[in-house]
Amino acid sequence: MSDLTYTIIEAIPRVLLLVVGVLGLIFSIKRRAKGVSGLMVGAFVVMLVATAASIVWQFVVSNVSSWVASGQLSGDELRLIFMGVGVPLDAAALLSWLLVAIAVLKSGRPSRQPGVAPHPGAVNYPMAAQPGFPNPRPGHIQPGHPPDQHPEAR
């Protein structure tokens, strides 16, 4: 088999990762309105860019034997090139995993936005009627108010 065939076979897992990343990005954008963190969207974007770059780099590296045969690059120069490309790709992959972890941690916390009604399963829900308003449940009188002041008690 040729170098290109080996490179294509080695790239298959990264292409699958790219497909999963695209699906994750689509689902995270669609669910953004339902409370999915923007960090999750950013994590998928970083992952897609890093994965695409690693696929391209894998095809560039498949030609490394001709680089060595040309004699224009020394071993140290090749090592420097590989480190210069490998470290940013690994850093981008690490960043995408870090963003996913932060987004997952953040999604587990309740939202504390002002003006947002509590979840129906929350404690003390439904809330008692406010003074001056009729009690929403017939037959129940709000504590601290005499029964003759409520319209329902008359």
Tokens describing residue 18: 């790219």
What pLDDT sits at residue 145? 57
- Distance, in Å, from the CA atom of 19 to the CA atom of 140, rounded to the nearest integer, reads 58
| Whether residue 57 is found in the same domain as residue 94 | yes
Sign of the Cα torsion 118, 123, 125, 129 reads negative
Q: Looking at the predicted structure, is the pLDDT value of residue 153 above 70?
A: no
Rounded CA-CA distance 102/125 in Å is 31
Is residue 45 a part of any domain in this protein? Answer: yes
131 belongs to a structural domain: no
Task: Classify residue 33 by its DSSP letter.
Answer: G
Contact yes or no for 7/58 (Cβ under 8 A): yes
Statement to judge: residues 3 and 55 lie in one domain: no
Confidence band, pLDDT 50/70/90 cuts, at residue 152 = low
What are the distances in angstroms from CA 53 to CA 37, 38, 46, 93, 115? 25, 23, 11, 11, 44
Q: Is 67 exposed, middle or buried (0-12, 13-18, 19+ CB in 10 A)?
A: middle
- pLDDT over threshold 70, residue 101: yes
Report the pLDDT averaged over residues 3-19: 87
Residue-level pLDDT at 30: 81
Is residue 152, in this structure, part of any structural domain at all? Answer: no
Band (84; pLDDT cuts 50, 70, 90) = very high
143 in a structural domain: no
Look at residue 48 and tell me whether its pLDDT is greater than 60.
yes
Q: Return the top range by mean pLDDT from 13-17, 24-28, 122-126.
A: 13-17
* Whether residues 53 and 27 fall in one domain: no
Could you tell me if 28 and 47 lie in one domain? no
Residue range of the domain that includes 93: 36-109
C-beta of residue 43 within 8 angstroms of C-beta of residue 96: yes
